[in-house]
Each structure stands twice: as C-alpha cells, then as structure tokens.
Amino acid sequence: MIDITPSHYMVLSATLFMIGVIGVMVRRNIIIIFMSIELMLNAVNVNLVAFSHQWQHVTGQVFALFVIAVAAAEAAVGLGIILAFYRNKETVNIDEMNVMRW
C-alpha cells in the first residue's frame, strides 16, 4: 500500500469516471451533465498520464493533450447548443427537452 503502482491510479481513475457517470445519470440540469462529462474525460487523462509515467514515454501525455483539445472543442459547441436551446424554450432541465417542436 505504500508503493504507488499504476493499479492505484487505475482505481482512482475508475472511481472518478464512475462519479462522472453517476452525475450524468442522476442530475437533470444539463450544465451539470456536461460537467460530469468533463469529469469523465479527466479520469481518462489521469489514467493515460499514469501509464506514461510507468513506461517513461511521453506518448500518454501527448494523447492526454489531444483529449484536452477535444474536450475544449466539445465544451464550446455544447454550451452554444445549450444557449440556443435556452433562448427558445426557457429551461435547462433535460427532462423537458424532449419535443422536436412545440
């Protein structure tokens, strides 16, 4: 338990990922759902960097860098969609975003 092995980082990453999944499933506020998705992406990054550290090769960190770039792009477009939706129907509750036209 004193030596920190990649298994420790895998458990941390898995728990963080599942906390994100629970956030997506339980919460109805769409902004919190987006933030839970960011938590999931972060968990994956932790895993990648842990393995990069184990093998002493920077490929894992480069992959994590691309994950951050994709997360930025997805956040920008996703929040644009939320704002456009909010402008039409004044809600951020996904249980109310279930009709194609009203």
Partner 1 sequence: MGEAIVFYGLSALILGFAVMVISTRDTVHSVLFLVVNFLLVAMLYVLLGAEFLAVIQVLVYAGGILVLYLFVVMLVNLKRPPETYQDPRRQTRLGLALSGAVLAEFVAIGVYGYTSPEGLPAVAAQAVEGGNVEQVGWVLYTNYLIPFEVASILLLVAMIGAIVLAQRDV
Q: Which of residues 6-45 bind partner 1 (CB under 8 A)?
A: 6-8, 10-12, 14-23, 25-29, 31-32, 34-36, 38-39, 42, 45
Helix 59-88 vs helix 30-55: crossing angle, to nearest 10: 180
- Helices then strands, counting H and E runs in the chain, come out as 3, 0
Among residues 69, 89, 100, 102, which is the contact residue for partner 1, using CB under 8 A? 69
How far, in Å, CA of 33 to CA of 25, rounded? 8
Number of residues that bind partner 1 (CB under 8 A): 74
- Say whether residue 77 binds partner 1 (CB under 8 A): yes
Among residues 44, 74, 99, 100, which is the contact residue for partner 1, using CB under 8 A? 74
* DSSP class of 56: T
